[in-house]
């Protein structure tokens, strides 16, 4: 029987210095980039609705999210979920280094640093109540890829890999793109470098022939195909068991369906999104976009250099597959477009793009020219530092937004006390901040940084009745409930004149009790 001591000894023999380097780099960078949000409670508009939630979301296709988030409890605990998130990212970095067989210290450091600081991580960290669950999905996807490309790869390895894919998709579907990007980057490295001769390391050897490559592609396709089918089945079964239907949010209800026209149009949508999230707004090109353009030029030049140096152009099959793998990357990054025509990408869904930057770390290992190596180190250092700054700017702005929002909530709570509305049972909100003529309370779902970072706002966080009700109940001890939509429409029709004559926030009288319902008026009735 395996004892703890034996297990740790086996683990010690598996772990190599390059794994530790990538792990520590991700851990340290993650703390520097995201320590602000981990050690403070800085919720966004969804965070205020998820102070405690089981995250049981079969209607969103996230049928296993409740299990993934359950590790840190169903409370929104930024310190716990944040540390788990960085741990999962760090483990992902270590496994990715093994998949790509990186050995140079700088390559391993930048792999970990890029993964931990990429803007998608910042966006996900904004939703701290699910961040650990999401990054666990990323880790499981990475392990699934790893199982698919082992030297002793066999069809039986597809079973555990498919299981991991099923759980990962049922936690957060967007990490399918991350897995696709791993296999594409691995393909580029294998065809450019590993195919020329067997690479022998302490961890074993990599076969160097197209037969092995084909075997890996087969196992990857089988693993992810079975995993995707199993995910669709589990999702549908749990929806039936719990009596819910797939929501039309983000095209969730279209996942699993297929149409030729939708698939073809996916190419255009993916290319547009890739261009935006890769360089930012072309009309406001800044450091983020310029760095990425410069990086692309160096990366493309490096690939062409090795194609010529190794005379890969004399091997048509190898060259065609290599070019296809590179050409597929913009579309793999936004793969959900091809399985759902209704999806709208946000920055928390673009983690796959981070692997484009990891490719430069791969090139670093192969070039011997000192000038090239210094250029790559400087470029990636500036890229990572820019990511760290973007993350901390987001958290600082969101903290200000939360402070402003709580000040508004204090005003509303005082008005409720003055109206003697503590005993009321229901609450409605009339109008919204966006309709306010002064624009003082404008709110959006993202900060206008390159790229646009979803999950943060510089406006007031409370955008609807559910926010006000939840916050008043949690922070002031009330027990307000929101009227059903049909009931609210009927109520508004009966009391239209009374509500119309009410002043708007922040004027006195913006809160009133009408027929045992607390009415908060933000702007005029249309």
**124-164: pLDDT as tens digits:** 999 999 999 999 999 999 999 999 887 665 677 788 999 99
The CB density around residue 375, as the number of other CB atoms within 10 Å, is 16
Among 67-71, 187-191, 281-285, 354-358, which stretch is predicted with the lowest mean pLDDT? 281-285
Q: Is 60 exceeded by the pLDDT of residue 252?
A: no
pLDDT higher for 326 or 367? 326
Q: What mean pLDDT is predicted for residues 221-242?
A: 91
Among 158-162, 181-185, 448-452, which stretch is predicted with the lowest mean pLDDT? 448-452
User: Which pLDDT does position 345 carry in this prediction?
Assistant: 87
Let me know the angle formed at the C-alpha of 67 by 65 and 68, rounded to the nearest 5 degrees: 65
- CA pair distance 101, 107, nearest whole angstrom: 10
pLDDT band per the 50, 70, 90 thresholds, residue 260:
confident
Closest CA to 271 of 347, 180, 181, 332: 332
pLDDT band per the 50, 70, 90 thresholds, residue 489:
confident
Helix locations, 101-209, DSSP H: 105-117, 119-125, 128-148, 158-169, 176-192
Q: Is 80 exceeded by the pLDDT of residue 238?
A: yes
Q: What mean pLDDT is predicted for residues 250-260?
A: 58
Q: What mean pLDDT is predicted for residues 154-181?
A: 90
User: Which pLDDT does position 162 carry in this prediction?
Assistant: 94
Q: Is 50 exceeded by the pLDDT of residue 198?
A: no
- CA pair distance 65, 57, nearest whole angstrom: 7
**pLDDT digits over 274-300, tens only?**
999 998 877 778 899 999 999 999 999
- CA pair distance 244, 310, nearest whole angstrom: 56
Across all residues in the chain, what is the average pLDDT?
A: 87
pLDDT band per the 50, 70, 90 thresholds, residue 199:
very low
Q: Which helix (H) or strand (E) holds 359?
A: helix 354-366
Task: Identify whether the C-beta of residue 429 lies closer than 8 Å to the C-beta of residue 464.
Answer: yes
User: Which pLDDT does position 117 carry in this prediction?
Assistant: 97
pLDDT higher for 232 or 202? 232
**Percentage of the chain exceeding pLDDT 90:** 55
- CA pair distance 459, 116, nearest whole angstrom: 27
Q: Residue 198 has what DSSP assignment?
A: P
Query: What is the full DSSP assignment across 35-73?
Result: HHHHSS----TTGGG-SB----BGGGTBTTHHHHHHTT-
- CA pair distance 447, 455, nearest whole angstrom: 8
Q: Is 90 exceeded by the pLDDT of residue 368?
A: no
- Structure tokens of 404? 């402003």
Closest CA to 245 of 53, 46, 50, 61: 61
Q: Is 90 exceeded by the pLDDT of residue 344?
A: no
pLDDT band per the 50, 70, 90 thresholds, residue 384:
very high
pLDDT band per the 50, 70, 90 thresholds, residue 437:
very low
Task: Identify whether the C-beta of residue 40 lies closer than 8 Å to the C-beta of residue 399.
Answer: yes
- CA pair distance 144, 11, nearest whole angstrom: 19
My answer on whether omega of the bond before 249 falls inside 30° of 0, hence cis, is: no
Task: Identify whether the C-beta of residue 65 lies closer than 8 Å to the C-beta of residue 130.
Answer: yes
Q: Residue 74 has what DSSP assignment?
A: S
Task: Identify whether the C-beta of residue 66 lies closer than 8 Å to the C-beta of residue 50.
Answer: no
User: Which pLDDT does position 254 carry in this prediction?
Assistant: 56
- CA pair distance 113, 377, nearest whole angstrom: 12
Q: Is 90 exceeded by the pLDDT of residue 33?
A: yes
User: Which pLDDT does position 24 carry in this prediction?
Assistant: 98
- CA pair distance 337, 49, nearest whole angstrom: 28
- CA pair distance 13, 9, nearest whole angstrom: 6
Q: Is 70 exceeded by the pLDDT of residue 76?
A: yes
Closest CA to 427 of 513, 318, 319, 300: 513
72 CA to centre of own chain? 18
The DSSP bridge partners found for residue 427 are 482, 518
pTM, rounded to two decimals = 0.91
* Range among 1-15, 51-65, 381-395 rated most confident: 381-395
- CA pair distance 507, 431, nearest whole angstrom: 15
Contacts of 58 by beta carbon, 8 Å cutoff, 6+ apart: 235, 238, 239, 242, 244
381 CA to centre of own chain? 22
User: Which pLDDT does position 439 carry in this prediction?
Assistant: 45
Among 23-37, 40-54, 370-384, 419-433, which stretch is predicted with the lowest mean pLDDT? 419-433
Q: Which helix (H) or strand (E) holds 517?
A: strand 517-521
pLDDT band per the 50, 70, 90 thresholds, residue 121:
very high
The CB density around residue 369, as the number of other CB atoms within 10 Å, is 8
- CA pair distance 398, 31, nearest whole angstrom: 18
User: Which pLDDT does position 246 carry in this prediction?
Assistant: 73
pLDDT higher for 28 or 446? 28
């Amino acid at each position: 029987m395996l004892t703890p001591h034996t297990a740790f000894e086996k683990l010690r023999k598996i772990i190599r210095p390059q794994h530790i380097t990538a792990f520590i780099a991700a851990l340290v960078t993650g703390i520097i980039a995201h320590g602000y949000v981990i050690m403070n409670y800085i919720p966004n508009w969804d965070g205020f609705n998820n102070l405690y939630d089981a995250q049981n979301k079969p209607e969103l296709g996230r049928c296993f999210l409740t299990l993934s988030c359950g590790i840190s409890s169903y409370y929104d605990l930024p310190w716990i979920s944040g540390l788990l998130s960085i741990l999962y990212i760090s483990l992902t970095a270590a496994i990715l280094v093994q998949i790509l067989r990186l050995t140079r210290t700088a390559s391993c450091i930048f792999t970990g640093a890029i993964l931990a600081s990429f803007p998608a991580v910042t966006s996900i960290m904004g939703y701290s109540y699910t961040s650990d669950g999401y990054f666990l999905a990323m880790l499981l996807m990475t392990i699934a890829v790893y199982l698919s490309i082992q030297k002793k790869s066999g069809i039986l390895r597809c079973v555990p890999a498919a299981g991991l894919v099923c759980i990962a998709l049922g936690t957060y579907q967007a990490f399918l793109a991350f897995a696709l990007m791993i296999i594409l980057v691995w393909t580029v490295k294998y065809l450019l470098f590993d195919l020329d001769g067997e690479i022998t390391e302490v961890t074993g050897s990599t076969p160097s022939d197209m037969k092995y490559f084909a075997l890996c592609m087969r196992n990857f396709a089988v693993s992810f195909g079975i995993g995707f089918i199993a995910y669709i089945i589990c999702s549908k079964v749990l929806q039936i068991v719990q009596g819910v239907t797939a929501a039309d949010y983000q095209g969730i209800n279209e996942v699993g369906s297929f149409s030729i026209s939708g698939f073809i149009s996916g190419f255009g949508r993916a290319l547009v999104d890739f261009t935006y999230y890769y360089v930012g707004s072309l009309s406001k090109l800044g450091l983020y976009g310029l760095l990425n353009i410069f990086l692309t030029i160096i990366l493309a030049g490096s690939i062409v250099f090795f194609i010529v140096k190794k005379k890969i152009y004399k091997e048509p099959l190898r060259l065609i597959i290599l070019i296809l793998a590179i050409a597929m990357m913009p579309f793999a990054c936004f793969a959900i477009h091809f399985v759902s025509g209704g999806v709208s990408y946000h920055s928390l869904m673009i983690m796959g793009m981070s692997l484009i930057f990891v490719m430069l770390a791969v090139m670093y290992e192969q070039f011997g020219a000192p000038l090239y190596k210094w250029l790559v180190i400087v470029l990636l250092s500036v890229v990572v530092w820019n990511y760290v700054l973007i993350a901390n700017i987001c958290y600082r702005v969101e903290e200000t937004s939360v402070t402003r929002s709580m000040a508004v909530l204090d005003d509303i709570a005082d008005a409720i006390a003055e109206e003697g509305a503590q005993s009321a049972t229901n609450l409605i909100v009339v109008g919204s901040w966006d309709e306010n003529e002064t624009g003082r309370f404008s709110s959006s779902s993202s900060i206008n940084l390159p790229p646009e970072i979803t999950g943060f706002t510089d406006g007031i966080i409370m955008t609807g009745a559910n926010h006000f009700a939840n916050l008043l109940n949690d922070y002031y001890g009330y027990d307000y409930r929101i009227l059903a939509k049909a009931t609210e429409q009927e109520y508004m029709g009966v009391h239209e004149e009374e509500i119309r004559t009410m002043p708007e926030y922040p004027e006195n009288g913006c809160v009133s009790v009408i027929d045992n319902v607390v009415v908060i008026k933000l702007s005029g009735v249309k």
